[in-house]
A and B are shown apart, each in its own frame.
Chain A
């Protein structure tokens, strides 16, 4: 209680340390995007960005948008589609997985969740090699994302379905005269509203940051933003990379915070597999 607990103190210290470790690089990057930090080395592409006078400078953002704006849009599109399609596919699926007691379904569920635990690059070259004829089709990238996000959504939904014992609610509904369709529409879906929101945010975030699966699927015309980020890391100056990264973070951070506020316990162990 009020007593001094060395273990507790060290735990706190360690956590603070971790916190710093996590934040520091991000701060450096964000600063790097706005300031003319010179001590990290010179920047190329002088011809590209109009450097503002003084230490503040937004030129890099303009440059990033100019070079990689299309990628940003494309990634947003992908994320959006992943959410919509993911929900459309996962909702009914999760409902069955959570309510049917058939033995075979347990195994199927394992398979569905597989993509969360197996290396993305394996899946991506699988897609490339198996669908070589479609190589360069942008929707192949979408497939990659779906493959990765559907299990996520499914897991969120099944978890929450199980957490509030949907079976019992369905029994009542049934005794009140609701057929399975009514039960699905009036009982299951409304109770999943919250999980759907959380799941969507999660999917959006994951899809927005996804690299392993989609990198190799990228086509010259359709590149995800992370791929563009990679390009900036290799080809552009630190300032440009920082600006690009900052743009990436600007979208991801609010989502993650939202997730913390919305997500109940049943989601914590889903996030981990994101």
Chain B
């Protein structure tokens, strides 16, 4: 009923920004990746997927991101649940603290990781003092160190996404289930789970694409561990091959987009089903 026609021009600024700063650059990158206007080919992509090193970076990235996404989703599940049902003391403060890492750029995460889990990090040194052995020493530079760093980074995202989806869950349903004789576990498996597996997925998607993109952490801690964003970074600061670099970037974007979009589609389908 609100006649959109005359007001559409209000959209122009937004459109301009997106077109100029998002669509054009990405388009440019793509063009570059397939070799510009003059006869194009997909050499760079071939290189990316076949050349052992680049492929390793790609695989590492995917591996790390999925690892982080899964673990962060699981780790934050209980807290999110508590928050959603306002069961935690001084909830606001706690939530605020939880959201801290979100605005940290990855580099701070990296720094913190080194400080805590480096070869002479706080944790190993405490361990040394307490147990006489420097447990976790130098783990910052290994895969699990990296995962921990990213995890730290994803805690707020995961918690908030999960919390909001828990909040959306209608508690009357679980009351109804109770009145029908469903015990805690049955309520969880028969009612809660079927209704929130999608939110779980979307949490996964959010954290996944976030860790896929952030290279600040890796910049500092990733030692012998190459990641796609790092490669892109190296390509641009050192002597790199612009085509390959563009290809890498486009690949990153595509993956992130696909993951998010497919989850969205799944969501819509369930909406239609429910």
Chain B residue at minimum C-beta to C-beta distance from A11: B78
Complex contact B103–A10 (CB within 8 A): no
For A40, list chain B residues within 8 Å (CB): 115, 120, 122
CB distance from A178 to the nearest CB of B (A): 12
**Is A260 engaged at the interface, CB distance under 8 Å to the other chain?**
yes
Chain A residue at minimum C-beta to C-beta distance from B81: A11
The interface residues of chain A, by DSSP majority, are classed as helix
For A15, list chain B residues within 8 Å (CB): 78-79, 82, 88, 94
For A48, list chain B residues within 8 Å (CB): none
Chain A residue at minimum C-beta to C-beta distance from B154: A272
Complex contact A22–B164 (CB within 8 A): no
For B29, list chain A residues within 8 Å (CB): 122, 125-126, 129-130
Q: Name which of A11, A12, A268 has the most chain B CB atoms within 10 A of its CB.
A: A268
CB distance from B45 to the nearest CB of A (A): 15
Complex contact B161–A212 (CB within 8 A): no
CB distance from A68 to the nearest CB of B (A): 14
Complex contact A146–B21 (CB within 8 A): yes
**Is B220 engaged at the interface, CB distance under 8 Å to the other chain?**
yes
**Is A250 engaged at the interface, CB distance under 8 Å to the other chain?**
no
Cα–Cα, bound, A166→B22 (Å): 29
**Is A261 engaged at the interface, CB distance under 8 Å to the other chain?**
yes
**Is A44 engaged at the interface, CB distance under 8 Å to the other chain?**
no
**Is A26 engaged at the interface, CB distance under 8 Å to the other chain?**
yes
Inter-chain contact total with CB atoms closer than 8 Å: 272
For B28, list chain A residues within 8 Å (CB): 126, 129-130
CB distance from A48 to the nearest CB of B (A): 19
- Taking a contact as CB atoms closer than 8 A, the residue among B205, B209, B232 that contacts A125 in the complex is B232
The interface residues of chain B, by DSSP majority, are classed as helix
Interface size class of B (residues with CB under 8 A): 35 or more
Complex contact A28–B116 (CB within 8 A): yes
**A22-B152, A211-B107, A226-B107 given; A268·B163 CB < 8 A:** yes
For B25, list chain A residues within 8 Å (CB): 123, 126-127, 129-131
Cα–Cα, bound, A11→B236 (Å): 45
Cα–Cα, bound, A125→B21 (Å): 11
For A126, list chain B residues within 8 Å (CB): 22, 25-26, 28-29, 249
Cα–Cα, bound, A41→B119 (Å): 11
Chain B residue at minimum C-beta to C-beta distance from A143: B21
**Is B139 engaged at the interface, CB distance under 8 Å to the other chain?**
no
Chain A residue at minimum C-beta to C-beta distance from B219: A230
Complex contact B17–A89 (CB within 8 A): yes
Cα–Cα, bound, A212→B104 (Å): 11
| B interface footprint on A256-274 (CB within 8 Å = 1, 0 otherwise) | 1101110001001101111
For B164, list chain A residues within 8 Å (CB): 265, 268-269, 272
**A93-B14, A122-B253 given; A22·B100 CB < 8 A:** yes
Which B residues lie at the A interface, using CB under 8 A?
1-4, 6-8, 10-11, 13-15, 17-18, 20-26, 28-29, 32, 75-76, 78-79, 81-82, 87-88, 92-108, 110-112, 115-116, 120, 122, 125, 152, 155-157, 160-161, 163-164, 167, 184, 205-206, 209, 212-216, 219-220, 229, 232-233, 236-237, 242, 245-246, 249-250, 252-253, 256-257, 260
Pairs A–B under 8 Å by Cβ, sample size 6: A15-B82, A22-B97, A26-B112, A117-B256, A121-B232, A212-B106
Among all A-B residue pairs, the 10 with the closest Cβ atoms: A119-B213, A126-B25, A211-B105, A93-B14, A92-B10, A11-B78, A100-B4, A25-B112, A130-B28, A269-B164
